[in-house]
Structure 1
Amino acid sequence: MFHDMAMTPDKIGEWLQHFKLGEDVAGNLGIIGAILYLCILALVANFLAKKLIEWVVHPVIRKTAIKLDDLLIDHHVIVHFSHLIPAAVIHFYAPVLFRNEPAVLSFIGLAVNTYLIIITLLVIDGLINFGRAVWESGPIGRRYPAKSYAQAAKLVINLIGLIFILSALLGKSPVVLFSGLGAVTAILLLIFKDAILGLVAGFQLSVNNMVMVGDWIEMPARGADGDIIDVSLTTVKVQNFDKTITTIPTYALISDSFKNWRGMSESGGRRIKRSLFIDMRTIRFADKDLLEHFKRIRLLRPYLEAKLEEIQEFNQGFGITMDELINGRRLTNIGTFRAYCLAYLRNHPKIHQEGMTLLVRQLAPGAQGLPLEIYVFTNDTAWVSYEDIQGDIFDHLLSVLPEFGLSPYQAPSGADLEKAGSMISRNESFAEYSS
Structure 2
Amino acid sequence: MIQELETSKVVSESIDFKHLIYDRLIGLNVSESIAEYLNMFGLLFALLMVVFIVDFITRRLLLKAFNKFASASKTNFDDLLVDNKVSRNIAHIIPLLIAMKFTPTVFGDFPNFDGVFEKGLQVFAIVLTLWIVRSLLNTVKDYLKILPRLKDKPIDSYTQVFMIFAWVAGFMSAIAIITDTPFWSFITALGAASAVIILVFKDTILGFVASIQVSINDMVRIGDWITFEKYGADGDVIEINLSTVKIQNFDKTITTIPTYALISDSFKNWRGMTNSEGRRIKRALYIKQEGVKYLSEDEVNKLKDIQLITSYLETRQEDINSYNTSNTINKELLLNGRNLTNIGVFRKYIDSYLKQHSAINKDMMIMARQLAPTTQGIPLEIYAFSSDKRWENYEYIMSDIFDHLIAALPYFDLEVFELPSSGKFIQ
- Looking at structure 2, the residues matched to 184 and 351 of structure 1 have their Cα atoms a distance apart, in angstroms, of 63
1:120-163 Cα shifts (integer Å, max 9, x gaps): 11112222222323333323312322211211111112211122
Q: Judging changes above 3 Å, is the alpha-carbon distance between structure 1 residues 175 and 297 closer, same or farther for their aligned structure 2 residues?
A: same
Higher alpha-carbon deviation: 225-234 or 286-295: 286-295
Identity, % of aligned positions: 38
Match of 1:137 in 2: 146
Give the structure 2 partner of residue 389 of structure 1: 397
Determine the C-alpha separation between the residues in 2 that align with 1:5 and 1:48: 26
Deviation at 1:74, TM superposition (A): 2.6
Give the direction of change, closer, same or farther, for the CA distance of 1:369–1:164 in structure 2 (3 Å limit).
same
- 1:136 & 1:7 partners in 2: Cα distance? 57
In structure 2, the residue matched to 1:43 is 52
Secondary structure at the residue paired with 1:69?
helix
Residues 337/118 of structure 1: CA separation in 2 closer, same or farther (3 Å cut): same
Contact persistence 2:59–2:87 (CA under 8 A): no
Whichever residue aligns with residue 198 of structure 1, its letter is G
Distance in 1, matches of 2:42 and 2:410, equals: 98
Moved more, 211-220 or 333-342: 211-220
C-alpha displacement of 1:12: 4.8
- Alignment check: 8 A CA contact 2:409 2:415 kept: yes
Match of 1:400 among 402, 408, 422: 408
* Structure 2 contact 324–337 (Cα < 8 Å) conserved: yes
Give the Å deviation of 1:170: 2.1
2: distance between equivalents of 1:267 and 1:351? 14
1:22–1:416 distance in 2 versus 1, CA, 3 Å: farther
Matched, 1:62 2:98: no
Q: Could you state the TM-score of these two structures normalised by the residue count of structure 1?
A: 0.87
Q: Please, which moves more after superposition, 237-246 or 408-417?
A: 237-246
Indicate the residue corresponding to 1:432 in structure 2. Answer: none
1:9 offset after TM fit, Å? 7.5
Q: Which residue of 2 aligns with 1:268?
A: 277
Aligned counterparts of 1:162 and 1:91: Cα–Cα separation in 2: 20
Do structure 1's residue 157 and structure 2's residue 166 form an aligned pair? yes
CA distances 1:153-193 after superposition (whole Å, capped 9, x unpaired): 11112211122222222223212112222112111111111
Deviates more, 1:166-175 or 1:407-416: 166-175
Looking at structure 1, the residues matched to 313 and 52 of structure 2 have their Cα atoms a distance apart, in angstroms, of 91
2:196 to 187, 198, 202: 187
- The answer for the alignment partner of 1:212 in structure 2 is 221
Q: C-alpha offsets along residues 250-275 of structure 1, whole Å, 9 cap, x if unaligned? A: 22222222222222212232222111
Match of 1:278 among 279, 287, 293: 287
C-alpha distance after superposition, 1:20-73 (max 9, x if no partner): 976534542442343233223222222222222222322321321222332222
Which amino acid counterpart does residue 112 of structure 1 have in structure 2? L
* Contact kept? 1:6, 1:97, Cα under 8 Å: no
Distance in structure 2 (CA, Å) of the matches to 1:8 and 1:243: 67
Q: Distance in 1 between matches of 2:30 and 2:367?
A: 101
Q: Is the 8 A contact 1:45 1:89 kept in 2?
A: no
Following superposition, the deviation at residue 413 of structure 1 comes to: 0.6
How many pairs align?
Answer: 418
Structure 2: which 5+ residue stretches go unaligned? 1-8
1:378–1:21 distance in 2 versus 1, CA, 3 Å? farther
Q: Distance in 1 between matches of 2:408 and 2:208?
A: 57
Instruction: Find 2:420's aligned residue among 409, 412, 418.
Output: 412
The equivalent of 1:357 in structure 2 is: 365
Which consecutive residues of structure 1, in runs of 5 or more, have no partner in the other structure? Answer: 421-435
User: Residue 36 of structure 2 contacts residue 109 of structure 2 at CA under 8 Å; is this kept in 1?
Assistant: no
Partner of 2:386: 378
8 Å contact from structure 1 (residues 9, 98) kept in 2: no
What is the SS of the residue equivalent to 2:77?
coil
Structure 1 contact 136–145 (Cα < 8 Å) conserved: no
Change (3 A) 1:334 1:95: same
State whether residues 352 and 378 of structure 1, in contact with CA within 8 Å, keep that contact through their aligned partners in structure 2: yes
Could you report, residue by residue, the CA deviation over 1:310-335 in whole angstroms, capped at 9, with x for unpaired residues? 22222232133544433332222211
Deviation (angstroms), 1:6: 12
* From 352, 360, 363, the counterpart of 1:343: 352
The answer to whether 1:303 aligns with 2:318 is: no
- Write out per-residue CA displacement over residues 93-135 of structure 1, whole angstroms, 9 at most, x where no aligned residue: 4455445554444433322222221111111222222232333
Identify if the C-alpha distance between structure 1 residues 18 and 268 changes in structure 2 by more than 3 Å, giving closer, same or farther: farther
Q: Which residue in the other structure is 1:52 paired with?
A: 61
Equivalent position SS for 1:303: helix
Three-state SS of the structure 2 residue aligned to 1:285 is coil
Q: Retained in 2: the 8 A contact 1:148–1:202?
A: yes
Q: 1:8·1:97 contact (CA, 8 Å) conserved in 2? A: no
1:221 matched residue in structure 2 = 230
When residues 294 and 92 of structure 1 are mapped into structure 2, their CA distance, relative to the original with a 3 A threshold, is same
2:130 is the alignment partner of 1:113:
no
Partner of 1:428: none
